Structure 1
C-alpha cells in the first residue's frame, strides 16, 4: 500500500479544528449577512405571499437534493480523514473518484424528476397553491450542480481544508442573491407566481459559481500533493470498487436518512401547517402568508444565530474521525468539550437577543412586524439547535451515523402530532407550528446528548453554564432597557434595535470576563483575532 509520511500529511492537510471552524464561521457570517440583505429586498418585492410561494417549492428541492446526494459527501469526509490518518493518500483519492461518479448520476436523475414532476405535485394537491409550480420547475436544474458541488466539498473537508468550502459558499451566495433580486424584479409585472419562480433561479446560478470555485481548489490540492510527494506509483493492491461502495453506503445511508429528515419534515409542514391554519379560520392567502413568516423569516433568523455551531459540526466530523482512527480518545473528548462550550457561549446570548427583540428585528430586517410572534417562539430553539448540530457532528465523526437519524425520526413524530394539534388552535395559529418545531429540535438534541455522554463521556459542566447564564441574563436586562430608551430618544426602530444589540454584546462579553466565564486561554485559542484581542485586554488591564 502506497502511503504518505506524517510530515507530508501535516503539510498537505489544511486547517486545524479550531481554525477550520473559524474560517467556516466567518464565511457563514458573510453568507448570512448577504442572505439577510437579500431577504430584505426579495421580501419587499414578493411580500409575505410571494415568499410563501417560494417556500412551498423549497422543501421539495431540499428533499430531492438530499436523496440525490444520499449522505455521500459526509461519508467522503469521514473516509478521507480516516485514510489520511493512516497515511493512505491513494485510498482517499479513489474514494472521491468513485463517489463523484455516483453523485453525478443521482444528481442528474433527481434534477429531471423534479422538473418533470412539478406539474404532478400541483395536480395531486401536494402543493396546495398551484402558483408555486414555477418555483419548483426553476429550482430543478440546481439539484444536479449542487450534488456535484457537495462531493468536492466532502473530499476537501476530509483533508480538513475548510477554506474552499468557505470561499465557495460566499461565491454561491453572491450569485444566488443577485439572480434572485434581478429576476424577481424583472418578472413581477408578469405576476407574483412568475416573480417567485424567477427568485428560485438563484439556486442554479449560485450552484454553478460554487462548483467552479471548488474545482479550482481541488486542482490546487492535486498540485500540492504532487509537489510534496513527487511522482507516485500506483498502489500494489487496489481496494475493490465493491468494497469502497459498501463502506460508503454503510456510512452514507444513515447520514442520508438524517439529511432527508429535514426536508421531509419541511414537506410535512407544507402539507400540515397551511391546512391546519385554514382549519383555525384563516383563508388560503392568509395561511400562505403566515407560512412565509415562519419558514421564510423566522427559520432563517434561527439559522443565522447558529452559524458557529453549524461550522463546529462540519469541522468536527473529519476531526473526530481522524482522532478516532488513531485511537486517541482524549482528543475526541477534548474536541467535543471545546465545541459544546463554544456552542453554549454563542447560542445562549443569541436566544436572548432574538427573544427580546423579535418584533423590532422582524420590522428592521423584513419590514414585517407581524412575523414577530413566530420569531419570538422560534428563538427558544437556538440553544437546542446548537446542541443538536454539535452532537450530530460528534456522533457522525465517531461512525455512529445511524443514531442522529433515529433520534430525528422520533422527534419528527412529536412535531407532526404537535403541528396537527397546536396550529389549528385559533389562539395559537402559526405560533403553534413554531412551538412544534422547537419541540422537534429539543427532543432530538436531548437524545443526541445521551449518546455523546455514552460514547465520549462528555457532560455539561454546571459551573460554566451558570456563568454563561448569568452573563446572558445581565445582557438581557441591558438590551431591554437600551431598546426602550433609544426608541424614545431616536424614534427609529432600526437604530434602537441596532444599538440595543451592540449594547447587549458588549455587556455580555464584559460580564463573562469579570466572572471568569472566559479566560485568557479561551481567547488565545481564537484563530487570527485571539492574539490581537489579548493585547487589547492586557492594555486595558482586564487580564493579568
Structure 2
C-alpha cells in the first residue's frame, strides 16, 4: 500500500510540477503583457484600446475556427499513445494534425484580411476606424495556428517547459512590436496606431513558433538516440487517428469558439445597448474599452495558475484514464479543485478591495474601478470553470464544456441586452452579465465532474479558505489607505500584494489548511516556510 501511495504522490507532484512550470511562464507572460498594457493604454487611451478590442474578437473567432480544437485532441491522443509505448503513433498524430492546421490557418488568415472591409461596410464592426487593426491581425492567425499544433504535441508528452518558454518569447516579441509600431503610427491617427499595436501578434507568433520547432527536433533526436521509438507496438492507422481527432476536436472546437463568439456578441450588443442607455458612440467605445481592455485582463491575470493547471490536467488525466486508474483520477481532481480555491478565492476578494486603486495606478483610469470591482467576483468562478473544463476534456467528455458554455452564453446575452441599456447600470450591467456567464458554466461543469469522478468538495477546507481570505481582505483594506500616504500608487499595490499573501498564508497555517507537503512544493521558499511553521509551533514534530 505504501508503494501505491508513493506512486500516487509522484504522479500528483508531476501534475503540479507541470502546472507550476506553465504558471511561472504564464506569470512572466502576464507581467510583460500587463506592463505593456499599462504603457499601451496610456499611449492609445480608452478610445484607442476600444478600437483594438473591437478587432480582437474577430481575431479570436478566426483563430478558434482555424485550429478547430485540434491542439487539445493532439494532447489527449498523444498522451494515450505515449502511455502505451506507441511513439510512432504519437508522431503520426502530430504530422497529420500539422497538415490540417497549416491549411485551415492559411484559409482563415486570408479570410480575415480580405473580409475586413465587409465587416465595416455591413456595420458588424460599428466603428470604421477598427479596419486597420483587423487587417494587421490577419497574418498572425496562420502562425498561431501552426504554433498550437507543436504545443499540443509536446504537451501530450507532458513536456510543459517548451510551452512556457515559447509563451515568454512570443510575448516579448509581441510586446516589443506592439509598442514600436503603435508609437510610430500614432502621428498618422489613432486608428493607425491601433493597427500598429495589432501587428505585434504576428511578430510574437513567429518567434514562439521557432522556439517550439527547436524543442520538437530536440525531442525527435533524443528518441532516435535512445532507440525509444523502435518499440514494437501495433500502431493505429492514419484513418483511425483522423476519426478520433475529429471526434475529440469537434466539441473542443465548439468550446473554444464560445469565447470569441461571446466576445463578438459583446461587441455587437454592448455598444448598441450603451447607446440605447444614452451614451454617444465615442462614450460607448470608451466604456467598452474599460470593460474588455482593462477589467477583463485583470480577471485573466488573477487566474494564471488555474489556467496552467487546466492545461496540465488534460494530458495527465488522459494518461491515467487510459490505464484505468480511477483512484488517481479522483485524487487529481480533488487536488486541482483545492488548488483552484486556494488561489482564486483570495484573488477575487483582493481584487474587489483594490479595484479602484488598481485601475488608477495601472491604467490611470479610476473610472474603470467600479467595473473591476464587479468583475472581481468572477475570478473564483473562472478558476473553477478552467479546472473543471480541463478535467472533463482529460476524461474524454469534450462535448460537455461546450454545451455548458452555450447555456451560459444565452444567460449572458439576455442580461447584456436588458441590464446594459438601463441608464443607472450601463457598463456595470455588462460586468454583471460577464460574471453570470462564467458562473453558470462553472456550476454546470462541476455537476458533471461529480458525476464522472465521484469528487466531493471538502466543505471544511473551503470554509477555512474563505475565512482566511476574509481576514486578508480586511487587513488589505486598512493597509492600502495607510501605505498610500507614504508611497506612490503603483508601489503601494506591490506592497499590498506582499502583505496580503503573508496574512493569507499565516491564517491558513494557523487553521491547519496548509500542510507540510503543500509548503514543500513551493519553489525556493518552501523549506523556509516549513521551518517557520515549526518554529511558530503551527506544526508539531
TM-score range normalised by the length of the shorter chain = over 0.9
Alignment of 1:354-503 (within 5 A): 354-487=351-484, 489-490=485-486, 492-503=488-499
Partner of 2:526: 530
- 1:521 shift after superposition: 1.9
Partner of 1:196: 194
Partner of 1:543: 539
Tell whether the 8 Å contact from 1:76 to 1:154 is kept in structure 2 after alignment: yes
Residue 510 (structure 2) pairs with residue 514 (structure 1)? yes
- Structure 2 SS opposite 1:16: helix
- Structure 2 SS opposite 1:517: coil
Tell whether the 8 Å contact from 2:87 to 2:229 is kept in structure 1 after alignment: no
- 1:522 shift after superposition: 1.6
Aligned residues: 529
- 1:503 shift after superposition: 1.5
- Structure 2 SS opposite 1:333: helix
Unmatched 5+ stretches in structure 1: 1-12
Measured in 2, the distance between the counterparts of 1:206 and 1:401 equals 30
Tell whether the 8 Å contact from 2:181 to 2:193 is kept in structure 1 after alignment: yes
Partner of 1:228: 226
Measured in 1, the distance between the counterparts of 2:534 and 2:183 equals 52
Tell whether the 8 Å contact from 1:482 to 1:496 is kept in structure 2 after alignment: no
**Aligned pair in 2 of structure 1 residues 228, 477: CA closer, same or farther (>3 Å)?**
same
Measured in 2, the distance between the counterparts of 1:238 and 1:511 equals 53
Residue 88 (structure 2) pairs with residue 90 (structure 1)? yes
Tell whether the 8 Å contact from 1:20 to 1:160 is kept in structure 2 after alignment: yes
- 1:406 shift after superposition: 0.2
Tell whether the 8 Å contact from 1:480 to 1:500 is kept in structure 2 after alignment: no
Alignment of 1:279-298 (within 5 A): 279-298=276-295
Q: What CA RMSD, in Å, does the superposition of the two structures yield over aligned residues?
A: 1.5
**Aligned pair in 2 of structure 1 residues 174, 430: CA closer, same or farther (>3 Å)?**
same
- 1:111 shift after superposition: 0.3
Residue 12 (structure 2) pairs with residue 41 (structure 1)? no
Tell whether the 8 Å contact from 1:359 to 1:369 is kept in structure 2 after alignment: yes
- 1:490 shift after superposition: 1.9
Partner of 2:323: 326
- Structure 2 SS opposite 1:126: coil
Partner of 2:3: none
Measured in 2, the distance between the counterparts of 1:212 and 1:471 equals 44
Q: For each residue in 1:237-276, what CA deviation from the matched residue of structure 2 results, as whole angstroms up to 9, or x when unmatched?
A: 6533221111000000000000000000000000000000
Tell whether the 8 Å contact from 1:22 to 1:527 is kept in structure 2 after alignment: no
Q: For each residue in 1:442-492, what CA deviation from the matched residue of structure 2 results, as whole angstroms up to 9, or x when unmatched?
A: 0000000000000001121111011101101100110011112223x3263
Q: For each residue in 1:123-163, what CA deviation from the matched residue of structure 2 results, as whole angstroms up to 9, or x when unmatched?
A: 00000000000000000000000000000000000000000
Residue 307 (structure 2) pairs with residue 310 (structure 1)? yes
Alignment of 1:114-129 (within 5 A): 114-129=112-127
Tell whether the 8 Å contact from 1:18 to 1:527 is kept in structure 2 after alignment: no
Alignment of 1:42-121 (within 5 A): 42-121=40-119
Relative to the length of structure 2, the TM-score reads 0.95
- 1:281 shift after superposition: 0.5
Q: For each residue in 1:258-300, what CA deviation from the matched residue of structure 2 results, as whole angstroms up to 9, or x when unmatched?
A: 0000000000000000000000000000000000000001011
Instruction: Tell me whether 106-115 or 522-531 shows the greater mean CA deviation.
Output: 522-531
Tell whether the 8 Å contact from 2:86 to 2:235 is kept in structure 1 after alignment: no
Measured in 2, the distance between the counterparts of 1:123 and 1:182 equals 30
Tell whether the 8 Å contact from 1:415 to 1:439 is kept in structure 2 after alignment: yes
Measured in 1, the distance between the counterparts of 2:330 and 2:451 equals 12
Relative to the length of structure 1, the TM-score reads 0.95
Measured in 1, the distance between the counterparts of 2:136 and 2:123 equals 19
Tell whether the 8 Å contact from 2:88 to 2:229 is kept in structure 1 after alignment: no
Alignment of 1:228-307 (within 5 A): 228-229=226-227, 232=230, 239-307=236-304
**Aligned pair in 2 of structure 1 residues 404, 367: CA closer, same or farther (>3 Å)?**
same
**Aligned pair in 2 of structure 1 residues 522, 230: CA closer, same or farther (>3 Å)?**
closer
Tell whether the 8 Å contact from 2:86 to 2:233 is kept in structure 1 after alignment: no
Partner of 2:204: 206
Tell whether the 8 Å contact from 1:16 to 1:160 is kept in structure 2 after alignment: no
- 1:528 shift after superposition: 5.7
